[in-house]
């Protein structure tokens, strides 16, 4: 995929070093899709690489803008990195984007209104109605969007939802899932969930994909091109492995991610059960909803 990112972005080179076929371009054409990534994850460069990697398998020409909040200073990213490669919401307020991806954030146990940047995030949610063609709300952002738009509450799980789980489609003719088989796998890594009953009861939402183990996965807001995605289809192969080893090193109560290592043996290399369908998911999003 031809892609334009901020000049010198380290994540682009990291993806290239993996052997991913990313082609850079300098000047946009009339066919360029303008995509913004509101990156709320603490490890900025890892998340940048995740989305550059997954978007790179599309044939669409993309210009990727990295967006940051004006009311929040990340603790785990250097000020130089944020200043050099990111643009604040205030700077982008008057622009229109074909697509926006809002990432998750590791603040699930905090009530939404207690999140320091909640007012600005709500302002961005409103801004998308007039300035973005299609928005993907991912993981915590999905829960935040569902709460803001529909009042759907999240609840704390007894233990972390952690692993790669099989999912099924509730409707087969949705362009977002073109090319999918009867079962698709998705990584999940979260401490909270939302009730399926609350989603089904909301007339403005359609549940498109779910799992008997990890719950609802993809929901679409009727009359819009907005999707709420509770899992992490964008994850690289070793991301869950790194999270597992990190929590173990901290002495946290964590079980090995399910359906991830062959025979659930964490000494073996993880299985890439989800990556083929993940590429289709994002490719279909760009092809059918962003253009």
Active site residue 184: no
CA distance 136 to 229: 7
Nearest to 137, CA basis, from 77, 185, 194, 181: 194
| pLDDT score for 133 | 98
Q: Would you state the structure tokens that stand for residue 74, as one six-digit string?
A: 């990340």
CA distance 291 to 270: 35
DSSP letters spanning 125-187: HHHHHHHEEEEEEETHHHHHHHHHHH-PPEEEEEEEEEEEEEEEES-S--GGGTT--S-EEEE
SS3 18: coil
Which domains are delineated in the chain?
2-237+274-290 (3.40.50.880)
Q: Which of 34, 48, 139, 210 is catalytic?
A: 139
Quick check: 270 and 245 in contact, CB under 8 A? no
Distances in Å between the alpha carbon of 108 and those of 184, 192, 203, 256, 286? Answer: 25, 6, 25, 20, 28
Q: Which of 60, 210, 221, 234 is catalytic?
A: 234
| One pLDDT digit (tens) per residue for the chain, 291 residues | 688 899 899 999 999 999 887 877 776 677 899 999 999 999 999 999 999 999 998 988 999 999 999 999 998 889 999 999 999 999 999 999 999 999 999 899 999 999 999 999 999 999 999 999 999 999 999 999 999 999 999 999 999 999 999 999 999 899 999 999 999 999 999 999 999 999 999 999 999 999 999 999 999 999 999 999 999 999 999 999 999 999 999 998 899 999 999 998 999 999 999 999 999 999 999 999 998
Active site residue 120: no
CA quadruple 169, 187, 273, 256: dihedral sign: negative
Quick check: 29 and 8 in contact, CB under 8 A? no
Q: Would you state the structure tokens that stand for residue 221, as one six-digit string?
A: 């807001």
Active site residue 122: no
| pLDDT score for 24 | 74
| pLDDT score for 40 | 96
Is pTM beyond 0.85 here? yes
Q: Which of 34, 167, 184, 232 is catalytic?
A: 232
Q: Would you state the structure tokens that stand for residue 84, as one six-digit string?
A: 């050099």
């Amino acid at each position: 995929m031809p892609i334009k990112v901020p000049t010198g972005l380290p994540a682009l080179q990291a993806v290239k070093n993996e052997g991913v076929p990313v082609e850079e371009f300098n000047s946009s054409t009339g066919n360029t899709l303008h995509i913004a990534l509101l990156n709320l994850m603490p490890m900025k460069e890892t998340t940048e690489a995740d989305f550059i990697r997954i978007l790179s398998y599309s044939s669409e020409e993309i210009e990727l803008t990295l967006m940051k909040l004006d009311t929040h200073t990340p603790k785990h990213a250097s000020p130089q990195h944020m200043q050099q490669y990111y643009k604040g919401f205030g700077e982008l307020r008057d622009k229109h984007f074909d697509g926006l991806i809002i990432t998750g954030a590791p603040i699930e146990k905090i009530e939404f209104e207690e999140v320091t940047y909640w007012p600005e995030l709500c302002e961005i949610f409103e801004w998308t109605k007039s300035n973005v063609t299609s928005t993907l709300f991912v993981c915590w952002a999905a829960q935040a969007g569902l709460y803001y738009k529909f009042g759907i509450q999240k609840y704390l799980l007894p233990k972390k939802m952690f692993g790669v789980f099989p999912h099924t489609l509730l409707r087969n003719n949705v362009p977002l899932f073109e090319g999918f088989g009867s079962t698709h796998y998705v990584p999940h890594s979260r401490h909270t969930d939302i009730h399926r009953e609350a989603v089904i009861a909301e007339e403005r939402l359609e549940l498109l994909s779910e799992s008997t183990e990890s719950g609802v996965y993809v929901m679409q807001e009727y009359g819009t091109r907005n999707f709420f995605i509770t899992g992490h289809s964008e994850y690289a192969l070793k991301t869950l492995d790194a999270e597992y080893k990190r929590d173990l090193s901290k002495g946290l109560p964590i079980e090995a991610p399910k359906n991830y290592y062959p025979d659930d043996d964490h000494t073996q290399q993880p299985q890439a059960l989800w990556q083929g369908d993940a590429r289709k998911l994002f490719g279909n999003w760009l092809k059918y909803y962003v253009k």
